[in-house]
């Protein structure tokens, strides 16, 4: 028994020493006067658990493959210039960290989708605080789980006059789970952040702006959380498609203007919540098609062309405690059947009264105007906006409603704008 105990003790000691050696590792320095003068050389010579420390300077390299657990760390802002010859870093190992580098200059590559950093079928990869400039794809993760992409600045090109095929995405995930995409600043790409077949992930505190198509675009990606992001002045805003169980909270959608631009485009999504967001100065705040069982609550819709375009294919959606201010159209639809609920929203166009002083209007409000339905069916009629005939038409429809959806109505409109931070009595008023 004593010999067996000694054997087990010795084996455990060896395992612990091996783990300690892997965890600590050695540091291989890269600089013009160091033993290693190229990043590729140091990465190839490094052992699992080592750190490759890249000193300040410019390294014209591409095709760097990481095939073992490493930390690749930049010191004094080193630049790796791909010189338009191909992908710069490819990660082919688990437990890799890439931090503090500037990566730039990758040519448009229609066949290979070259990126500054590509992760292929790996897990526990951390891409932190890097600057990526003038690339096709910035950061590309495929079939990789439990990865962190945080604090990176990914800047592409001036998208003016370019078509979508000439641009890749700043941060691109395909078939990934449990990803953390946070605190990144992305612009000048086709899509700022793109996710397809991505589940149980979080996208938070990112700024995505001036992208040719969407600030955020995700499809077939269930169970994700998007919070505290800003999507500004993108070609078409944000698109959420063919997805369920999504939480979108505390985001800002602003300045997404254009003939087909939206703050948020929802197509065939279900069982999701849209809470505490701000939709400001978009052509359309939210465009909803074939979407059901959505909880749209406590959002600010301010100075949009259309606050909400709710197509008749949407059912069982709830709109509650939202503020509608300064919008040309608060709600529009393309048909009469509606199976959705509006309650306790504030509408700046509401001119009802509150005799019992409970802060809830005594008469219902119909947010859909006859003119908004006309514009939905005949788009060129928007040129008559603000005309006397439009006002007269809408006023007659309010007195004798016959065309606007009878069931699309807020039975309990709020009398004043809702202050979510300071209005402590709100719960008592709307219960």
Which tokens belong to 232? 């500004």
Q: Which residues of 225-257 are buried (b: 16+ CB within 10 A; e: fewer)?
A: ebbbbbbbbbbbbbbbbebebbebbebbbbbbb
User: Cα(80)–Cα(180) distance, rounded to whole angstroms?
Assistant: 25
Is-contact 145 176, C-beta < 8 A? yes
Band (pLDDT 50/70/90 cuts) for residue 378 is low
Band (pLDDT 50/70/90 cuts) for residue 231 is very high
pLDDT tens-digit readout, 355-366:
888 889 889 988
Q: Which of 329-333, 356-360, 374-378 has the lowest mean pLDDT?
A: 374-378
pLDDT tens-digit readout, 268-319:
999 999 999 999 999 999 999 999 999 999 999 999 999 999 988 999 999 9
Q: What is the mean pLDDT of residues 195-208?
A: 97
Map residue 308 onto helix, strand or coil.
strand
Band (pLDDT 50/70/90 cuts) for residue 430 is low
Statement: 40-235 belongs to CATH 2.160.20.10: yes
pLDDT recorded at residue 390:
53
pLDDT recorded at residue 207:
98
Average pLDDT, the chain: 87
pLDDT tens-digit readout, 1-29:
455 555 554 555 545 444 544 446 899 99
Is-contact 227 202, C-beta < 8 A? yes
What are the start-end ranges of the E strands in 276-328?
Answer: 278-280, 284-289, 292-297, 300-302, 306-310, 315-320, 323-325
Number of helical H runs and strand E runs in the chain: 5, 38
pLDDT recorded at residue 25:
84
pLDDT tens-digit readout, 164-182:
878 999 999 999 999 999 9
Domain coordinates of the chain in residue numbers? Answer: 40-235
pLDDT recorded at residue 408:
83
Is-contact 119 146, C-beta < 8 A? no
């Amino acid at each position: 028994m004593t010999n067996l105990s000694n054997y087990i003790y010795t084996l455990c000691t060896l395992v612990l020493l091996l783990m300690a050696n892997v965890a600590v590792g050695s540091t291989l320095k890269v600089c013009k006067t160091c033993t290693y003068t190229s990043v590729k050389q140091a990465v190839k010579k490094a052992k699992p658990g080592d750190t490759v420390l890249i000193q300040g300077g410019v390294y014209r390299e591409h095709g760097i493959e990481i095939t073992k657990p490493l930390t690749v760390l930049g010191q004094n802002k080193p630049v790796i210039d791909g010189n338009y010859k191909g992908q710069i870093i490819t990660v082919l190992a688990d437990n890799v960290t890439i931090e503090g580098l500037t990566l730039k200059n990758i040519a448009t590559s229609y066949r290979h989708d070259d990126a500054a950093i590509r992760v292929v079928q790996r897990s526990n990869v951390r891409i932190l605080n890097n600057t990526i400039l003038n690339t096709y794809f910035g950061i590309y993760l495929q079939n990789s789980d439990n990865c962190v992409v945080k604090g990176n600045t990914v800047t592409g090109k001036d998208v003016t006059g370019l078509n979508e095929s000439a641009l890749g995405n700043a941060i691109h995930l395909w078939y990934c789970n449990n990803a953390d995409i946070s605190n990144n600043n992305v612009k000048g790409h086709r899509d700022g952040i793109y996710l397809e077949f991505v589940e149980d992930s979080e996208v938070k505190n990112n700024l995505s702006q001036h992208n040719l198509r969407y600030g955020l675009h995700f499809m077939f990606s269930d169970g994700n959380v998007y919070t505290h992001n800003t999507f500004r002045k993108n070609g078409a805003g944000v698109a959420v498609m063919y997805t369920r169980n999504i939480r979108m909270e505390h985001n800002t959608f602003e300045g997404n203007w254009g003939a087909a631009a939206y703050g948020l485009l929802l197509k065939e999504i279900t069982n999701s919540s849209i809470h505490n967001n701000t939709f400001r100065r978009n052509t359309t705040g939210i465009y909803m098609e074939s979407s059901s069982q959505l909880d749209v609550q406590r959002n600010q819709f301010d100075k949009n062309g259309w606050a909400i375009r709710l197509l008749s294919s949407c059912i069982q959606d709830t709109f509650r405690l939202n503020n509608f201010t300064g919008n040309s159209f608060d709600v529009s639809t393309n048909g009469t059947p509606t199976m959705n609920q509006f309650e306790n929203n504030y509408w700046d166009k509401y001119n009802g009264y509150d005799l019992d002083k409970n802060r809830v209007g005594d008469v219902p409000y119909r947010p859909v105007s006859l003119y908004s339905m006309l514009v939905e069916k005949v788009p060129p009629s928007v040129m008559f906006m603000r005309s006397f005939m439009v006002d007269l038409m809408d006023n007659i429809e309010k007195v004798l409603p016959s065309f606007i959806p009878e069931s699309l109505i807020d039975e309990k409109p709020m009398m004043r704008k809702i202050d979510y931070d300071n209005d402590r009595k709100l719960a008592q008023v709307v219960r």
